Amino acid sequence: MLQQENCGLIVVDIQGSLAKIVQQSDLFIDNTRKLIQCCQLLSIPIIWLEQNPKGLGKTVPEISELLGQTIINEKYHFNALFEDPIKAAIKATGKKRWLTVGIEAHICVYQTVLGLLSENYEVDVVSDCISSRLQSNKELALLKMKDNGASITSLEMCIFELMKSAKMDRFKEILAVIK
């Protein structure tokens, strides 16, 4: 089970025109916004990644406006853990389990998930918060990530797992975000 105290969120490369041409782009971005808002309400640390922002563009405004003061971690490797500052930022949180979202599922999300797993982190891929240009690539990525040891979850499944109870402090605020 996900534990609020031991969990972080990694937002992978939701950038530029690519974010608008992946499968179910609007739904994917909306779900990711909801997850970020819920993580913020639960005080879950967020690692924000951008792949070659000069080439691909910045994070889409729908996401970047929520992340505000969060540090943007620029990267050039598809596996974010090949970037020493990102690896250090993840380690510095002290979290052992990472929710992972973003694009493209079969490239940067997939390789970053494998990087996390190779560093002995537990990973939960939020299936309705990842996408690729082709649905078949997203499906293949989910299959391979699961085969390599990642857990697959969804926006609502992971949020309710983190909350544990309707009596938790911010339940009504979080419910208002996801409904």
What pLDDT was estimated at residue 34? Answer: 97
CA gap 100, 47 in Å, rounded: 10
Q: Which residues contact 10 (CB under 8 A, 6 or more apart)?
A: 46, 47, 49, 80, 90, 98, 99, 100, 101, 102, 112, 116
Computed over its alpha carbons, how large is the radius of gyration of the chain? Answer: 15
Number of domains in the chain: 1
Q: From first to last of the 179 residues of the chain, give the pLDDT tens digit.
A: 898 899 999 999 999 999 999 999 999 999 999 999 999 999 999 999 999 999 999 999 999 999 988 888 999 999 999 999 999 999 999 999 999 999 999 999 999 999 999 999 999 999 999 999 999 999 999 999 999 999 999 999 999 999 999 998 899 999 999 98
What pLDDT was estimated at residue 52? Answer: 94
pTM of the model as a whole:
0.95
Q: Exposed (0-12), middle (13-18) or buried (19+): which is 54, by Cβ within 10 Å? A: exposed
Give the amino acid at 29.
Answer: I
CATH of the domain at 139: 3.40.50.850
What pLDDT was estimated at residue 69? Answer: 82
What pLDDT was estimated at residue 78? Answer: 97
Identify whether the C-beta of residue 66 lies closer than 8 Å to the C-beta of residue 35: no
Boundaries of domain holding 8: 4-178
What pLDDT was estimated at residue 90? Answer: 97
What pLDDT was estimated at residue 83? Answer: 96
Query: Could you report how far apart the first and last alpha carbons of the chain are, in Å?
Result: 22
Q: Which residues contact 57 (CB under 8 A, 6 or more apart)?
A: 15, 16, 17, 18
Largest CA distance in the chain: 46
Q: Give me the residues paired with residue 122 across strands.
A: 97
